[in-house]
Amino acid sequence: MADELEKVERETNTLWHGRFAEGPAEALMNMTVSLPFDQRLAPDDLRGSRAHVNMLEFVGLLTSDERVAILDALDVVEDELKRRQFEFVATDEDIHTAIERRVTEIAGDAGAKLHTGRSRNDQVALDLRLWVMRETRTVVARLHGLQTVLLRRAQECGDDEYVPGYTHLQRAQPVLLAHHLLAHVWALARDVERWQYVAKRCDVSPLGAGALAGSSLPIDPDHVAEALGFSYRFENSLDAVSDRDFVAEALFAAALAQVHLSRLGEEIVLWSSDEFGFIRLSDEFSTGSSMLPQKKNPDVAELARGKAGRLIGNLTGFLATLKGLPLSYNRDLQEDKEPLFDAVDTLTVTLLALTGLMDTVEFETNRMRAAADAETSSATDLAEYLVTQGTPFREAHAVVGALVRQSLERHIPLGELIAAEPRFDEDALALLAPGVAVKRRSSPGGGGPEPVAVQMQAACDLLSGEQEWLDQ
């Protein structure tokens, strides 16, 4: 891009050259142009301009011939951009400037009327809202894609496979592997909701706010809002061009989603280690070492974790950009795009890779089961057994805790101590048998087969609802 800019003769004027006797310094342009990164707003800018032009004719500011001439020029621009034949010039500060310049070259005097009643301030706010609404569909589709794979893997595990559930990364109580996988589905469901909310937040058209105060021309902001499918238009022109809440909210929604992927990533890193040995990564979704021939590394999971730092930075950085700004538009706001684009790109690329990883990962179910079947996994069940016999829970907790301590100190299997303890009978001893504890996690929302079956149905319903939203 920089090369291209340098190649072009600097004879073309900026949009705002009238007030200036001298052209802009190269150093100023190098610092202020946003074209290298805002080109991706082109489809949104074209859409916005078409709606604007239609409105201008509707209110009598353009003749029908002028409208057609501009719309035709916009089609040419779209085509040139698509075919990568659009020639940018050194004074194209941003995609908005570039498109207007080219439309004017093509459509002459009619083209020079494109920007009537409009400022780049309301134009850029509009374009970015349209972009976020457009990208929300991709983000939601990919969140949904990962959920779908996690749900399918959970369904495949059924009632047979279980893992130790952890607190403090210490084995606590066994749960179905399906329960563990579904836990991530619910976190992602909140991400889907957050993104849907972000799209709603964007659903207010700012076009017609002008630079900051509206216009003396008879423009009709409702006309463009409706044509573009917005539910609302701005109430206050100052707020319309100042407001980047939707960017901050999108950055938060992206950062939190990436934090969820980071936490899933951390589990993948742990579970794929020899120490856990709970999963084996597919060749497609793991990497090797340049020096250590034996290595198979979980780089996708590590980068899901690592990139969360970047997304948190994008959010906090942009909030810092916003915090000191007076009304209304300030050039600082141009700093909204790079963190936003980066956050969305990072999140979507991570989602796709993690989906592939989870789709192809092999569960080492024997290792999982062996770890979950440790006798101490049933300690809570033993205490709860005493509770059913009338012992107050606190006392039952102390009794079982003391037996676990003895078992560890004297290297005697817990089962032997239970067998010798008069408070417990055969039924209590049976609680220590492999696979029993997980079946007993039967309360609503719990990790055993009965509640997990209910949960599975709820997750299926959730995903159908998301699919309906995506199909709209």
Taking CB under 6 A as the binding criterion, the range among 266-274, 277-285, 317-325, 328-336 that sits at the site for ligand ARG is 328-336
Neighbours of 116 (CB within 10 A): 17
Q: Does 124 bind ligand ARG (CB under 6 A)?
A: yes
Residue 347: CB minimum distance to ligand ARG, A: 22
Amino acid at 320: A
Sort residue 237 into left (φ over 0), alpha (ψ -120 to 50) or beta. alpha
Using an 8 Å Cβ cutoff, are 241 and 118 in contact? Answer: no
Residue of 289, 442, 443, 464 with catalytic role = 289
Q: Residues 79-98 vs ligand ARG: string with x where CB under 6 A?
A: ---------------x----
Nearest to 125 by CA among 345, 334, 321: 334
Residues 6+ apart with CB under 8 A from 122: 206, 207, 208, 209, 210, 211, 237, 240, 241
Exactly one of 248, 333, 372, 428 binds ligand ARG (CB under 6 A); that residue is 333
Judged by CB under 6 A, the stretch of 45-53, 117-125, 217-225, 409-417 that binds ligand ARG is 117-125
Smaller CB distance to ligand ARG: residue 25 or 169?
25
Q: State the binding string over 367-406 for ligand ARG (x if CB under 6 A, else -).
A: ----------------------------------------
- In Å, what is the CA distance from 169 to each residue of 183, 259, 271, 435? 16, 18, 12, 21
Residue 278 or 329: which CB sits closer to ligand ARG?
329
64 is catalytic: no
Residue 399 burial (10 A CB sphere; 0-12, 13-18, 19+): middle
Distance of CA 357 to the CA centre of its chain: 18
Q: What is the helix (H) or strand (E) element at residue 169, kind and residue range?
A: none
Q: Given candidates 49, 91, 104, 121, which one binds ligand ARG under the rule CB under 6 A? A: 121
- Least Å distance between CB 346 and ligand ARG? 21
> For the residues of 274-325, what is the DSSP string, one character each?
TTT--EE--GGG-B--SS-TT--B-HHHHHHHHHHHHHHHHHHHHHHHHHTP
Among the listed ranges 4-12, 195-203, 325-333, 410-418, the one in contact with ligand ARG (CB under 6 A) is 325-333
Nearest distance in Å: CB 344, ligand ARG: 16
Torsion of Cα atoms, 442 then 446 then 451 then 454, to 10° = 170
Distance of CA 42 to the CA centre of its chain: 23
Q: Does the protein bind ligand ARG through residue 126 (CB under 6 A)?
A: no
Phi and psi torsions of 16, nearest 5°: -110, 25
- Contact between 286 and ligand ARG (CB under 6 A)? no
Nearer to ligand ARG, 301 or 340 (CB): 340
**Sequence letter at residue 80:** E
Nearer to ligand ARG among residue 103 and residue 333 (C-beta) = 333
Shortest Cβ 335–ligand ARG spacing (Å): 8
207 near ligand ARG, judged by CB under 6 A: no
Between 331 and 394, name the residue whose CB sits nearer to ligand ARG: 331
Query: What is the footprint of ligand ARG within residues 220-259 (CB under 6 A)?
Result: none
Residue closer to ligand ARG by CB (options 1, 412) is: 1
Does 34 sit near ligand ARG (CB under 6 A)? yes
Catalytic residue at 289? yes
Nearest to 125 by CA among 236, 34, 198, 206: 206
* Catalytically annotated residues: 168, 289
By the criterion CB under 6 A, which residues form the site for ligand ARG?
34, 38, 94, 120-121, 124, 329, 331, 333-334
